[in-house]
Amino acid sequence: SVFSLESSLRDVRKVQLKNITRKAQRQMRELAKKLGKKVSWEIVDDHIEVDKMIVEKLSDPLMHILRNCLDHGLEAPDERKKFGKDETGKITISAREEERNFILTISDDGRGIDLDKVREKAISNGFLTAEQLDKMPPGEVTKLIFTAGLSTAKKTTTVSGRGVGMDVVSKNIDELKGSIEVATEKLKGTDTIIS
């Protein structure tokens, strides 16, 4: 039947998500060494099979998010000790299927996103007024990181950013008809959820 043929063709196009997660992990290990940061990795359920095109298009956003985790999220070992944390930071990449969607979560146990800096940048760039920001719940403030030109990094490095912000990551996810959300807690870490 046409349905079974379409289903078979979809299956042929599927590849395991680990095609990008394992490659990303290798590259990030090298990066962690360059940055002088200690990091342990946990990859959960990346044997899930996803359409090859989606996996290929997720590669760049995943790398950008992981670079942000390493460069901006995870603290240096001595800084982590000052906060009473283990000097080795942790990054977790986990995947799960939910109905006909799959959800990819990238978590780190770093410093979290400084929402005060996000607010300051939004005001200084003329995106919003202080009054507008005061009325905005923290979850909405977090979403501002997807606005073009709203990086809170003190300087663009060759590691993260490279002139490319989370707005580009969000655009790439939109092109896949997906969504991206960020949950963060000061000194506890950040979760980035791609559906």
**pLDDT tens digits for 43-99?**
998 788 888 888 889 999 999 999 999 999 999 999 999 999 999 999 999 999 888
Give the pLDDT confidence score for residue 191 in this predicted structure.
97
Return all residues near 136 (Cβ < 8 A) that are at least 6 apart: 128
Position 158 scores a pLDDT of 52
Token pair recorded at residue 111? 């410093």
Q: Rounded to whole angstroms, how far apart are CA atoms 119 and 126?
A: 11
Residue 94: name the closest of 102, 105, 81, 78 by CA: 105
Rounded CA-CA distance 4/179 in Å is: 29
What's the pLDDT band for 157 if we cut at 50, 70, 90? low
- 103, β-bridge pairs: 96
Q: Average of pLDDT values for 31-43?
A: 94
Strand partners of residue 91: 41, 108
Taken in order 97, 62, 122, 79, is the CA torsion positive or negative? positive
Rounded to 10 deg, the angle between the 52-68 and 18-35 helix axes is 20
Q: Please check whether residue 18 is in contact with residue 47, taking contact to mean a CB–CB distance below 8 angstroms.
A: yes
Which of 11-20, 35-44, 49-58, 159-168 has the least mean pLDDT? 159-168
What average pLDDT does the structure give for the chain? 86
- Stated pTM of the model: 0.85
Q: What is the mean pLDDT of residues 34-38?
A: 94
Q: State residue 8's pLDDT score.
A: 52
- Specify the pLDDT at position 193: 96
Partner residues linked to 95 by β-bridges = 104
Q: Using alpha carbons only, give the angle 185, 190, 193 rounded to the nearest 5 degrees.
A: 125
